[in-house]
Structures are given as structure tokens and as C-alpha cells.
Amino acid sequence: MSAPENQPPENQPRDRRDRFSCLPPTCRAFLCTFADNGTGAVDGTHAEQCAECAKQHSFQTRLGSLLSTRPISPELLRTTQFAEMLHERIIEAAASSSLGILVANRDSAPIHSSAWPEALLESEVARSTISATPQPSPAMWAKVRHSIMAGVSERRQPRHWRRLLLGITTAAAAAIVSGLVLSNGTTKESTIVFTDLDTMPGVEFAILRYGALR
């Protein structure tokens, strides 16, 4: 994949496109020239006049060739022994991780037996499973149906009365609350606080208790 600055403007990232569109036309033309030509010759006149474009051209000249070729990996990394050693290290790391410990310590799953154990087959559970239950008679079903329908009709009536009572109660509560809110009270609730005095007030009872004002 080529460097972003070597891509056509429509393929460049948006920020680069925004910056590119803000450049003067001469700069855009200059940048497109060596984008197309790679490290080839460009218009030197504009490079002499525009410092920014000259810097871009200098970067392109020095780094372009390096970025265009893929570096060769070292010989050691391409050996089979290295790959195996890497593989073992990965396995060791996984074994020492929490998942590896969990997998190593799990109980062994019971062996699935293809046949039922004999004791279970001879138990009451097995006998009741394999034997068919008797079906109730039609008369029985009729009675059951009748009792169910009767219960449903009974619940329907109290539910109706409950709804009516709830509606009346709600209306009464709303009337009371609205009456309290809209009415002008005849008395105003007063909050009275006590203020403690440090000195004895000049009242006759103080004369009585202490004879004279302190």
C-alpha cells in the first residue's frame, strides 16, 4: 500500500484532503506532480519559491525510495528452528494462563454410556415411565370444564366491583385534594420556635424564687 501522500487526492484520508484542498493551486499542482512521478523530476521553480513544498519534496526524495521497498527480514527469523521455538513459547504461555490452568484442572467428564444402567431400568421411575396413565372419562372432563368456567365467571364479577370501587375512591381523593389545594384556609399554620435565654427575665416569679433580680 503506498504512502498516503502518494495516493491520489480522492484516496487520501479526509484530513489530508482537507489540508490539500486548502493549498494554493500551484502547490497542489506541484505536489501532484511528484506524487505521480514518484521521485522523478519536478518543477524546481516552485520548489525554490515555496518552502513548504520544498520540504515536502525533500522528504519525498529521501524517504520515498526507502518506503517503496520492503526490507528483507533477518535470516534467523526465517529459520524453522525459530518458528518452532516461537510455537513452544506460545504454548507455554497459554498453559500458564488462567484458561490453561482451568482446562488442566477440570474433572474428567464421565464416560457416556451407550446403555442405561440396569438399576435404573428396574426402578419405579422406569416402570411409571413405560406404563401409560389412564385417561379421564369424558364426564370427568365435563365436570372439570364446568368448574373452571364457574371460577372464571366469579372472578369476573368481583373484579368489576373492585374496579368500580377503585374508581370511586380515586375520584373522592381527587376531589378532596383539589378542595384543599384550591380553598383558602381559614387559619395559617405558624411555626413557633423556642429561644433559650441566658439571663433570667424580670418577672414576678423570679422575685418569688430568688428574691431579687440577679
Partner 1 sequence: MPSASILCVIAFSRALTAAAITMMALATSGWGAAQSTTLVGKSAVASGAGQPLVPTLLSLDQSLRTQDFTAIQLRRFRDDQGNVVSVRERLQVDANGSARPGFAVTFLQVEGELPGSATDLKWQQKYAQFASLFYTHGTFRVHELTAAASNYTLHDFGPVVRANRAARRMVVFPATVDKAIWVVDFDSLTGVPLYSVEFDSQLHVLAEVEVLSFTNAVAPLVPALSSTTQHNDYNTAIAFMGGPRQMIDPIVALTSEYQLDRVEVRDDPLNGRQALVMTYTDGVDQFVVVQSPGTPDFFAGLPSMSGGGKSIARYRDPAMSVLLFWDAGVSFHVAGRGSLRRLDDLAQALYLQALSTN
Q: Which residues bind partner 1 (CB under 8 A)?
A: 187, 190-197, 199-201, 203-212, 214
Nearest distance, CB of residue 191 and partner 1, angstroms: 7
Exposure on the CB side of residue 72, measured as CA atoms within 13 A: 3
Buried b (16+ CB within 10 A) or exposed e, 197-210: eeeeeeeeeeeeee
Nearest distance, CB of residue 202 and partner 1, angstroms: 10
Give the separation between CA 143 and CA 83, rounded to whole angstroms.
80
Nearest distance, CB of residue 159 and partner 1, angstroms: 48
Buried b (16+ CB within 10 A) or exposed e, 6-25: beeeeebeeeeeeeeeeeee
User: Which DSSP string do the residues of 27-96 spell out, in sequence order?
Assistant: HHHHHHHHHHHTTS---HHHHHH-HHHHHHHHHHHHHHHHHHSPPPPPTGGGSHHHHHHHHHHHHHHHHT
Nearer to partner 1, 118 or 196 (CB): 196
Give the separation between CA 10 and CA 5, rounded to whole angstroms.
11
Nearer to partner 1, 41 or 197 (CB): 197
Nearest distance, CB of residue 183 and partner 1, angstroms: 18
Nearer to partner 1, 171 or 203 (CB): 203
Nearer to partner 1, 110 or 185 (CB): 185
Nearest distance, CB of residue 184 and partner 1, angstroms: 16
Nearer to partner 1, 51 or 193 (CB): 193
Give the separation between CA 214 and CA 206, rounded to whole angstroms.
9
With beta carbons less than 8 A apart as the criterion, state whether 213 and 200 touch: yes
Nearest distance, CB of residue 187 and partner 1, angstroms: 6
Give the separation between CA 168 and CA 161, rounded to whole angstroms.
11
Nearer to partner 1, 124 or 198 (CB): 198
